[in-house]
């Protein structure tokens, strides 16, 4: 392995960043294994994969990760689960870096990814068994990358996979719809596919509920409110939410949001959809529920330190964001190159035209 190669070195750093948090989580605690917690985790796992009536709702409908773990292990639940957690956290860091590289230099994206990795221990707390939570943010990040790159068919398939993992898979087509409407604020061909994907996601959620059947609720809204409004629960929520971005990350994100890429700013509407759901239906100190906000918060915080590119830096220039930027200039309309279908040389010219047009708009202002 040649560590002088930037790509290899980056993978090594990301693997280092996720290894200890994944190990501690797999053991149930930092230090000696928490046997009681691991036994509860195995019981919760078996109740889901065997579709027992005792499996709690809504966990009983989040079948993708438990079934994947169950298919891979035979009397080695802790080992296979540990490998799953390590792989899922590495998947999260890799997709976060890939997402940030749309607008930031690779070294800058790596810095933002490692800073996020440093805060991971705070999201690995206050629950027994939630493997779906570790697949949820990387699947969302991958979906956002494909929205920018206009990969329609993979987006539809990813929506299905993400919904089988957790009902929040519907956030992918919602973000897709927000981006499409921002470029063309009317319903038409560009909004048909994201709308259809929203419908498919909701149909999958409904189908899982009908196929698996009802079960005892993990927590009622009254119980959730009693926890959130208690002095202990509220104080713990303040501490955990602050540490979710390492304290200073919230200040950086607030300051950098105005400098963030257009696509990230549009996801502010995405956050406006998600945050109320979290506040009403989530226990606030379980800040793993905030991980779907990584696509907004992390690039905003990074934009407070580094100047992001106005257009995605990768060879494929795509997404409604870039089309709107190009058409909003004095430059003649151009066909925005789709990701994966144009060479670097073919994409360089549209990028220069767009950036020159943006510069002229700035001069007129």
If asked whether residues 235 and 351 sit together in one domain, one would say: no
Cα dihedral 26, 27, 30, 33 in deg (nearest 10): 180
Q: Give strand pairing partners of 57.
A: 217
Whether 112 and 207 share a structural domain: yes
- pLDDT tier, 355 (very low <50, low <70, confident <90, very high otherwise): very low
- Quote the CA–CA distance of 358 and 279 in Å, as a whole number: 39
Question: What pLDDT does 210 receive?
Answer: 94
Q: Looking at the predicted structure, is the pLDDT value of residue 354 above 90?
A: no
Average pLDDT across the chain, whole number: 82
Q: Looking at the structure, do residues 152 and 201 belong to the same domain, yes or no?
A: yes
Looking at the structure, tell me whether residues 102 and 237 fall in a common domain.
yes
Structure tokens at 234: 């509220």
Query: 190: closest CA among 321, 317, 355, 341?
Result: 321
Query: How many structural domains comprise the chain?
Result: 2
Q: How far apart are CA 224 and CA 49, in angstroms?
A: 26
List CB contacts of 78: < 8 A, sequence separation 6 or more.
26, 33, 38
295 and 344 share one domain? no
Rounded mean pLDDT, 293-311: 92
pLDDT of residue 339: 37
The boundaries of the domain holding residue 357 are 319-364
- Tell whether 200 and 323 lie within a shared domain: no
Q: Are residues 220 and 345 in the same domain?
A: no
* Same-domain check for residues 254 and 336: no
Q: Would you say residue 333 lies in a domain?
A: yes
| Judgement on whether residues 327 and 195 belong to the same structural domain of the protein | no
210 and 358 part of one domain:
no
Q: Does residue 303 register a pLDDT over 50?
A: yes
Indicate whether 209 and 344 sit together in one domain. no
Tokens 């070294």, residue?
Answer: 107
* Cα–Cα dist 245/294, whole Å: 9
Question: Band of the pLDDT at 333, cuts 50, 70, 90?
Answer: very low
Instruction: Report d(CA 135, CA 133) in Å as an integer.
Output: 6
SS3 label, residue 245: coil
Average pLDDT over residues 128-133: 88
pLDDT band per the 50, 70, 90 thresholds, residue 3: very low
| 355 and 225 assigned to the same domain | no
What digits encode the pLDDT tens for the residues 248-289?
999 999 999 999 999 999 998 888 889 999 999 999 999 999
- In angstroms and rounded to an integer, the radius of gyration of the C-alpha atoms of the chain is 21
In a domain, 314, yes or no: no
* pTM score above 0.85: no
């Amino acid at each position: 392995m040649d560590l002088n190669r930037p790509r290899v070195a980056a993978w090594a750093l990301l693997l280092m960043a996720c290894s200890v948090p994944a190990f501690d989580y797999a053991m149930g605690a930092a230090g000696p294994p928490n046997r009681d917690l691991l036994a509860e985790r195995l019981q919760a796992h078996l109740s889901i994969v065997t579709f027992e009536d005792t499996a709690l709702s809504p966990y009983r409908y989040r079948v993708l990760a438990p079934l994947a773990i169950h298919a891979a292990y035979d009397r080695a639940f802790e080992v296979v689960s540990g490998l799953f957690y390590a792989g899922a956290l590495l998947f999260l860091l890799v997709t976060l870096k890939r997402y940030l590289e749309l607008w930031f230099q690779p070294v800058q994206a790596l810095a933002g990814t490692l800073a996020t990795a440093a805060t991971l221990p705070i999201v690995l707390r206050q629950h027994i068994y939630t493997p779906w939570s570790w697949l949820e943010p990387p699947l969302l990040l991958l979906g956002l990358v494909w929205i920018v790159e206009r990969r329609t068919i993979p987006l539809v398939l990813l929506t299905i996979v993400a919904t089988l993992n957790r009902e929040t898979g519907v956030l992918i087509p919602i973000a897709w719809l927000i981006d499409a409407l921002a470029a063309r604020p009317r319903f038409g061909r560009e909004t048909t596919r994201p709308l259809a994907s929203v419908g498919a996601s909701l149909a999958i959620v409904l189908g899982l509920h009908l196929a698996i059947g009802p079960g005892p609720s993990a927590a009622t809204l009254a119980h959730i409110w009693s926890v959130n409004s208690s002095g202990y629960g509220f104080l713990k929520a303040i501490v955990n939410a602050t540490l979710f971005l390492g304290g200073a990350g919230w200040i950086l994100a607030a300051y950098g949001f105005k400098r963030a890429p257009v696509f990230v700013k549009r996801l502010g509407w995405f956050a406006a959809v998600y945050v109320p759901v979290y506040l009403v239906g989530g226990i606030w100190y379980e800040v793993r529920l905030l991980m779907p906000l990584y696509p907004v918060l992390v690039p905003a915080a990074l934009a407070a330190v580094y100047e992001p590119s106005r257009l995605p830096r990768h060879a494929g220039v795509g997404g409604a964001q870039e089309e709107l930027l190009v058409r909003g200039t004095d430059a003649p309309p151009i066909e925005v190159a789709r990701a994966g279908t144009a060479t670097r040389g073919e994409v360089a010219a549209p990028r220069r035209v767009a950036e020159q047009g943006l510069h002229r708009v700035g001069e007129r202002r």
